[in-house]
């Protein structure tokens, strides 16, 4: 809809006295009369009108003007009424193809023309109202989506805290894993949004360890076979905790929890998936998680030097790990080193 200072109707006519056309509208409807196409295009360059009334005549290519008006996004739905003569069927066809809303042919009836004009003004304003409502709705949907995503991220942050309560080292470990995931995702050419989602979801890869006894989780020596089987259950438990959530991010986290201990060669757990059967987020997280586990001290081992951990990934490429994920990780090695320097892992057992 036009602003109060803008004309509601622009009349394009070469008549020396356009009053016969401008008086078709009520006194409260602002009308601007212009004599030729360029003046009309200039008048409508930055603003819309509710109706453009064009009277074809010598020197005025009405169909070309209509096409030019329709090329402007802010005039895409403006009502255009053409007054023309010539062959009725051909004139109407050409005008409507050019983008006219309605066409009036001689003989002209002032009352009919006035009624058509008022109806088209009402139509234009109704379309503007619908578009305005659609824009408002789109903003509300966008705001609601942003709020929903923030709630999802808050839930994940809270669950990360729960994991940290079980393991004092978990916070820095999860931060470094997420940073490594971002590096791999970037090296693979994933979008920033995809990388951010996988990185955030990866922070919950070990959430199932909440159900593992401290005597196993913090055991300073090798695990017995029953203890090892119990530890391996954390992948399935993490999946069960998260998989039926309505949250897209939590479902992604469930997938990562379930698959980050699968191996490229099929010797992993809990499902023994092989190669591309393993979802990409799980394959990415596997590289990031093992790398950080290697460089970090645990109750049963000291942390490895970065170069030793790098060589292990290279040696296990195509066996334990997806070769593409390893290559992507190594292609961002400087970023990984910077991350570890910023959030250093404890190297002493």
Q: What is the pLDDT of residue 257?
A: 95
Least confident among 160-164, 166-170, 176-180, 302-306: 166-170
In degrees rounded to 5, what are phi and psi of residue 102? -150, 155
The 10s digit of each residue's pLDDT in 121-136 is 888 888 888 888 888 8
Residue showing tokens 């404890």: 346
* Cα 309 to Cα 109: distance, rounded to the nearest angstrom: 88
Question: What's the domain count of the chain?
Answer: 2
> Predicted confidence band at 1 (pLDDT cuts at 50, 70, 90)?
very low
- Judgement on whether residues 205 and 106 belong to the same structural domain of the protein: no
Tokens of 259: 């698959």
Q: Residue 175 maps to which CATH number?
A: 1.10.3210.10
97 within a domain of the structure (yes/no): yes
Residues in the chain, how many? Answer: 349
Rg (CA), the chain: 34
pTM exceeding the 0.95 threshold for the entire prediction: no
Tokens of 250: 């939590």
Tokens of 166: 């079980």
- Judgement on whether residues 172 and 237 belong to the same structural domain of the protein: yes
- Judgement on whether residues 25 and 113 belong to the same structural domain of the protein: yes
pLDDT greater than 70 at residue 162: no
pLDDT greater than 90 at residue 291: yes
* Cα 104 to Cα 108: distance, rounded to the nearest angstrom: 7
- Got the DSSP string for 179-222? HHHHHHHHHHT--HHHHHHHHHHHTTTTGGGGGS-HHHHT-SSP
37 within a domain of the structure (yes/no): yes
- Domain hosting 22: range is 9-139
Helix (H, G, I), strand (E, B) or coil at 34: strand
pLDDT greater than 70 at residue 232: yes
- Judgement on whether residues 123 and 175 belong to the same structural domain of the protein: no
* Cα 305 to Cα 303: distance, rounded to the nearest angstrom: 7
Most confident of 53-67, 69-83, 170-184, 265-279: 265-279
* Cα 123 to Cα 111: distance, rounded to the nearest angstrom: 18
- Judgement on whether residues 107 and 196 belong to the same structural domain of the protein: no
Helix (H, G, I), strand (E, B) or coil at 276: helix
The 10s digit of each residue's pLDDT in 188-215 is 999 999 999 999 999 989 888 888 888 8
294 within a domain of the structure (yes/no): yes
The 10s digit of each residue's pLDDT in 242-258 is 998 888 889 999 999 99
């Amino acid at each position: 809809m036009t602003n109060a200072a803008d004309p509601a109707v622009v009349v394009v006519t070469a008549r020396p006295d356009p009053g016969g056309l401008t008086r078709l509208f009520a006194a409260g409807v602002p009308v601007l009369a212009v004599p030729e196409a360029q003046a009309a295009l200039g008048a409508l360059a930055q603003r819309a009108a509710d109706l453009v009334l064009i009277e074809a005549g010598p020197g005025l290519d009405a169909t070309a003007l209509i096409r030019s008006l329709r090329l402007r996004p802010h005039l895409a739905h403006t009502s255009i009424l053409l007054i023309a003569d010539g062959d009725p069927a051909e004139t109407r066809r050409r005008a409507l193809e050019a983008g006219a809303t309605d066409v009036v042919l001689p003989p002209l009836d002032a009352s009919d023309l006035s009624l058509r004009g008022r109806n088209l003004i009402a139509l234009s304003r109704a379309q503007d109202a619908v578009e305005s409502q659609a824009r408002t709705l789109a903003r509300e949907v966008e705001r609601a989506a942003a709020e929903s995503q923030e709630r999802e991220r808050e839930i994940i942050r809270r669950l990360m805290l729960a994991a940290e309560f079980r393991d004092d080292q978990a916070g820095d470990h999860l931060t470094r894993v997420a940073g490594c995931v971002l590096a791999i995702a970037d090296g693979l050419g994933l979008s920033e949004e995809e990388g951010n989602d996988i990185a955030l979801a990866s922070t919950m890869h070990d959430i199932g360890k909440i159900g593992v006894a401290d005597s196993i989780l913090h055991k300073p020596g090798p695990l017995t076979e029953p203890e090892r089987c119990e530890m391996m259950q954390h992948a399935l438990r993490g999946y069960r905790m998260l998989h039926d959530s309505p949250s897209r991010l939590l479902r992604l986290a469930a997938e990562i929890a379930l698959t980050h201990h699968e191996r490229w060669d099929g010797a992993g757990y809990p499902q023994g998936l092989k190669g591309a059967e393993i979802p990409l987020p799980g394959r990415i997280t596997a590289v990031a998680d093992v790398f950080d586990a290697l460089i970090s001290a645990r109750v049963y081992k000291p942390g490895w030097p970065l170069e030793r951990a790098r060589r292990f990934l290279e040696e296990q490429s195509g066996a334990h790990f997806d070769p593409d994920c390893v290559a992507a990780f190594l292609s961002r090695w400087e970023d990984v080193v910077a991350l570890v320097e910023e959030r250093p892992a404890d190297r002493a057992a």
